[in-house]
Chains A and B, each alone.
Chain A
Amino acid sequence: MTLDLALFLVLALVAIATALGMLLSRNAIYSALFLVLNFVTVAVFYLLLGAPFIAMSQITVYAGAIMVLFLFVIMLLGADALPKTDVLPWQKPLAIALAVVLAAESTFLLVTKARPVGDILAPADAANSMENLRQMGLVLFNQYLLPFEVTSILLLVAMVGAITLTKKEKGGQK
């Protein structure tokens, strides 16, 4: 067993365990912190796959910005667990059974029917260097310039939308 395969297996266990922790913990804060750990693990996967720029974006945008926003909202709304409600008691076992079917089905289809794409070698030293970043910048700003600019408009719209949704109208009720 090579070093990166061992690393992959350990990290895969951590990723699945933290995802399950997110799913099962009653406290929303614990869920958010488990999810941060999951995002950091996926960032290490990106490094293993030779995508250092995506790994750093993952940490700054997901683990940094998005999860901080989540924690902020959780603390704003109160972190206490919701009271148990018994609307649709049969729904939870049915959902779990269907999820198991989905997992089995997708794994089966992906492994047996997909065309084999090959193995992922350990990234060469060049992959995690400035050369990788330079090539990615060239592709991004030559081939994908229009989507890049459209993304900036999307972020502006999201920002304006978030502000108008939460701000109070001047003088009285919104």
Chain B
Amino acid sequence: MVPVDYYIILSAILFTIGVTGVLIRRNALIIFMSIELMLNSSNLAIVAFSSAIKSFSGQIFVFFVIAVAAAEVAVGLALIVEIFKSKHSIDVDQISSLKG
């Protein structure tokens, strides 16, 4: 028997690690991975609540979140590859102009 609070605290900690990754890393790929970590931690909280109230809707919501994350990764990585082609760097400090 695990109190649902434990899952929520774990989810909050993982989310904070993701936020920290977005804030302190300069590599665009690592920032993107941190965003995935945040999505994942929120999924964990949703499934924990859905399991606590014994409903399937939360699990289906998480299924949709996973599908949206897959779409987001496909487009985001394509953008990062394009940025690398034009700037020859994925350091977000170097990407300071919109002009290609």
Contacts and interface: CB of A to CB of B under 8 A. Distances in A.
A114 B49 CA distance: 12
B44 A45 contact: yes
Nearest to A111: B5
Given A69-B73, A119-B4, A54 B48 contact: no
A130 interface: no
Interface in B1-60: 1-10, 12-21, 23-27, 29-30, 32-34, 36-37, 40, 43-44, 47-53, 56-57, 59-60
A87 interface: yes
A60 to B, nearest CB: 10
A15 B10 contact: yes
Contacts of A48: 2
Contacts of A74: 29
Interface residues of B, number: 70
Interface in A64-119: 65-66, 69-70, 73-74, 76-77, 82-83, 85, 87, 91-92, 95-96, 98-99, 102-103, 106-107, 110-111, 114, 116-119
A38 B24 contact: no
B21 to A, nearest CB: 5
B82 to A, nearest CB: 6
A143 B61 CA distance: 12
Contacts of A91: 23-24
A148 to B, nearest CB: 8
B74 interface: yes
Interface of A is mostly: helix
B62 A54 contact: yes
B80 to A, nearest CB: 7
A16 B37 CA distance: 11
A70 B33 contact: yes
Contact of A144 (B26, B50, B60): B60
B98 interface: no
B16 A110 contact: no
A28 B27 contact: yes
Contacts of B19: 99, 102
A171 interface: no
Given A76-B81, A106-B16, A165-B75, 20 more contacts: A8-B7, A16-B13, A16-B17, A31-B30, A38-B37, A54-B66, A57-B63, A62-B69, A70-B32, A70-B33, A73-B77, A82-B27, A106-B15, A111-B8, A116-B5, A117-B49, A119-B1, A119-B3, A155-B71, A157-B71
